[in-house]
Structure 1
Amino acid sequence: MSITVAMYSHDSLGLGHARRNRALAHALAADLPRLTGQRVRGLLIAGHPDATQDALPPGWDWLVLPGFARTPGGYASRNLGVSASRLTALRSGTAAAALEAVEPDLFIADRHPFGVGDELGEALSMLRERGTATVLGLREVLDSPDVARREWEKASWNGFSGADAVAAAYDAVWVYGDRGVYDPVATGELPGPLAERSVFTGYLSHGRPDDPVGPSGVQAPQPYVLTMVGGGSDGGALGLAAATARVPAGHTHIILTGPQMPQKDHDAILDAVCRSGAPKGTVRVSRYAPHVPKLVRHAAAVISMTGYNSMAEVMATTTPALTVPRSGHREEQPRRAAALARAGAVDLLPADELSAQAVGEWFSSAVRRRTFRDHIDLDGLTHIGDVAHELLAAQRPAAVTGLQHNATERIPHVSV
């Protein structure tokens, strides 16, 4: 007997969705066998080939769909050169066939309930018919309440519309955050039909998978400071400011530009480092490091954009952090940055105040202190096995063994 888990992320911009699912995969692979006595295997459906650079637990694998990219005119094919509708049909059929083949007991979609262009509609109908437990996983901040409401209103599936369509397709909504730091129900980002079935897991921080440092990995002697920009597609400005910032005496500066940073922006950062006059080897620039949690943990200080995964990795440490939220596109990052700054978890530098001088001055002060974040619930990955176990037992009790289940009983450490 085994339990099969399938996850989906659309990955049109950045790798945050796939990396959230990957962290969940490691947590579920570790905890569900202990809770159920059964082997756990899984499939992660992703939309960007860079996702596969991150290792999965034994018995798990990636399925990479042909990619979408976000453009000023909407979603478009990243590489194939076909219309968005043809690409949606290809992705939809591929995902449905894969899910039909693996027959998951648990399906988790990250952020977008029906995928790009409703590409998950067919698959969800099949999963609902076979009794698969379905979960919509959400970061704690979606967007401004007005934008979030309009996005929910657009949803439609099997004769349902709006938030009711999402509620019909998904048994549970897992919110990966601490309600005391940011509450999307209170702000109106999570409407009533979904709020009723939501579980706040805590941030997915402690227990993130930490890949080993290989021969080609980013390595630097301590002490060092770190700048990272997530996937990097819009991190050029922060990378440039960091490239010419003054490095604290006796420290090395590592700059991670991200696998999705445009080549011209990456080259501009390298050129800026060369022109900065910093002693050779003081500033090291790399596109990618599989062991970011370890780099953050051992850094004297870190500057980062405010994507969910970057903040989750930062908050698992006592490393002082300055966050520079992305401006434009969505209000997600500014809202998260403000909430975490109010909670004392990070320092905040608005994007319009970014400069090499501001970066250098912050580094100089930050390397002399630590930041403690133990007042925030950072144990979502520890909680998630119990949350999944309870859902599986309620939906498919025959598939789960060893559970003393009470449908009316809530798990004490999970806020609902």
Structure 2
Amino acid sequence: MKQNVLSKHEPSLSPRIAFYSHDTMGLGHIRRNMLLAQSVLQACPNAEILLLSGVRESGAFKLPKGADTVTMPSYFKTAEGKYIPSSLGNNIERLVEVRRQIIYGTLDLFEPDIVVIDNVPRGAMNELDTVLPVLASRGAQIVLGLRDIIDEPEAVREQWKKLKNLEIIRLYFNSIWVYGDPHLFNLAKEYQFDDDICEKLQYVGYLDQTRRMEVQGLDTVISSSVETPYALCVVGGGQDGFQLAKTFMQAELPTGWNGLLITGALMPEAQRKQIHDMVETRPEVHVVDFVAEPLKLMQEAECIISMGGYNTVTEILSFNESALIVPRVTPRKEQWIRASRLAEMGIVDCLHPDSLTPEALSSWMSGNKKQLNAREVLRFNGLDNVVTQVQSILSKRANS
């Protein structure tokens, strides 16, 4: 019979923390959790941190000592918002069960003191339903981590009601951390959360990407091929970034500029090949498929054109870069809400994808981009506040 090494009455000298991300589109969820893990380990170097994700590229990211990953076979989210296997056959029910058992077995044996679940309370396809009651019964502190904006309010209220997310939060979750600032988007108010849910919720602030652990040095192919000044185009994981990437390849750069396009590891192969074929007529534009840590490239860019995912946008804001955001508008409006509100505040420029043309990008790159420093109006102390929350939880458990 299996014996529990750790019970809620026996706090470990090496606290264990698990971060879960469902990762059905792009790399934002796992990268957010990796940044949080890095910050926690800097403050609590004796901690053991396990990241569970559905991103095979997670092995390419540099992790600090004390952190490791479990990578599950991945889902693919269609344009209609439906989940299908990314590459493991076409039986979604089997894939859900495979992932469910991996998650259950891992967390059952790891026995975390704290579990931080990114974005979806029940996990993708409700794959956390079996493990949540077990974790709660052992006294694990279960936290829901939310980006600043989930989707437009009506869609969130409808989806959360359908998925019974609020009931799950009431049953098993101790806290909700919102990685944002209500000055941009008051999540609790916009989504009309009940008082008991709001009592668990706190806005920790945006996550300062300048503190992200960088891979030492710059990729030699990139650094030797791209001279400043250059315009950088990034499309997140690339799963739905083809149109922006293609339009950037067709846009006219300012005189004397170079271009750099990162297609993203998840761009479909046929689309990626089409982009690479365009390089023959655009020798001043360099194309790479994947950069594990693009921060140095972002810092050195003259300007950035990107989609509107949370991580990419907060990287742009953290470094006060001149940016044009061309957000995705389906299946969620999250990116559009974020980009348009930031544009209204004068922090970035925003272009609706229906208005995306090579001429629009050319005009923006050659224009005079006067944009406000985001740090003057938004809080970027999220990492410090998360660390404080983690230390408080661990201290209470050690003294209980």
Which of 327, 333, 341 is residue 343 of structure 2 equivalent to? Answer: 341
Paired residues of 2:206 and 2:379 also in contact (CA < 8 A): yes
Within the alignment, does 1:212 sit opposite 2:213 as a pair? no
Question: What is the CA-CA distance between 1:209 and the residue it aligns to?
Answer: 2.6
Distance 1:45 1:189, change over 3 A: farther
Q: Which runs of 4+ in 1 moved over 6 A?
A: none
Counterpart selection for 2:184 from 181, 186, 189: 181
Task: Return the offset for 1:391.
Answer: 3.2
Matched, 1:384 2:386: yes
Which range is displaced more, 339-348 or 208-217?
208-217
Matched, 1:269 2:272: no
Work out which of the residue numbers 152, 168, 171 in structure 1 matches 2:171.
168
Matching residue within 350, 353, 359 for 1:351: 353
SS state of the match for residue 2, structure 1?
Answer: coil
Identity %: 32
Task: Check the 8 A contact 1:42/1:59 in 2, yes or no.
Answer: yes
Note the 1:99-110 alignment, pairs <5 A: 99-110=107-118
Q: Relative to structure 1, is the Cα distance of residues 398 and 186 closer, same or farther in structure 2, using a 3 angstrom cutoff?
A: same
- Of residues 70, 83, 97, the one that matches 2:77 is 70
**What is the match of residue 20 of structure 1?**
32
| 1:189–1:285 CA distance, 2 compared to 1 (3 A) | farther
CA–CA distance in structure 2, aligned partners of residues 88 and 230 of structure 1: 25
Matched, 1:251 2:264: no
Judged with a 3 Å threshold, the aligned counterparts in structure 2 of structure 1 residues 325 and 215 are, in CA distance, closer, same or farther, namely closer
Per-residue deviation, residues 128-158 of structure 1 (Å, max 9, x unmatched) = 11111110000111111111112211234xx
- 1:83 aligns with one of 80, 84, 91: 91
Query: AA paired with 1:12?
Result: T
Corresponding residue for residue 201 of structure 1? 204
Structure-1-length-normalised TM-score: 0.87
> Is the 2:20–2:116 Cα contact (8 Å) retained in structure 1?
yes
1:249-328 aligned at under 5 Å gives the runs 249-275=255-281, 278=282, 280=283, 282-328=284-330
**What letter corresponds to residue 137 of structure 1 in structure 2?**
G
1:44 equivalenced with 2:51 (yes/no): yes
The corresponding residue for 2:130 is: 122
Contact 1:163–1:191 (Cα < 8 Å) also in 2: no
* 2:331 pairs with 1:329: yes
Say whether residues 1:8 and 2:8 are aligned partners.
Answer: no
CA distance in 2, matches of 1:53, 1:191: 41
Matched residue SS, 2:158: helix
Measured against aligned partners, the alpha-carbon deviations of 1:318-366 in whole angstroms (never above 9, x if no partner) come to 2101100112211111111112112222111111111111111111125
The reply on whether 1:236 has 2:238 as its aligned counterpart is no
Matched residue type, 2:153: P
Letter of the 1:342 counterpart: E
Aligned to 2:375: 374
Question: Amino acid of the residue matched to residue 36 of structure 2?
Answer: L
Partner of 2:8: none
1:213/1:191 CA distance change after superposition, 3 Å: farther
Q: Name the counterpart of 1:55.
A: 62
Q: Deviations over 1:148-170 (max 9, x none)?
A: 112211234xxxxx513222211
* Unmatched segments (≥5 aa) in structure 2: 1-12
C-alpha distance in structure 2 between counterparts of 1:115 and 1:351, whole Å: 30
Cα deviations by residue, 1:22-56 (Å, 9 ceiling, x for unpaired)? 111111111234xxxxx111110001201221111
Q: Rate the CA distance shift 1:247–1:84 in 2: closer, same or farther, 3 A.
A: same
**Cα drift, residue 191 of structure 1:** 4.7
Tell me how far 1:102 sits from its aligned partner: 1.3
Give the residue type in structure 2 aligned to 1:251: W
- Give the direction of change, closer, same or farther, for the CA distance of 1:369–1:221 in structure 2 (3 Å limit): farther
Counterpart of 1:61 in 2: which secondary structure? strand
Counterpart residue number, 1:405: none
Aligned equivalents of 1:142, 1:193: Cα separation in 2: 20
SS at match of 1:234: coil
TM-score, with length taken from structure 2:
0.91
Partner SS state of residue 244, structure 2: helix
Q: How many residues align?
A: 383
Q: Could you tell me which amino acid in structure 2 is paired with residue 5 of structure 1?
A: I
Once the 2 structures are TM-superposed, how far is the Cα of residue 175 of structure 1 from its aligned partner? 0.4
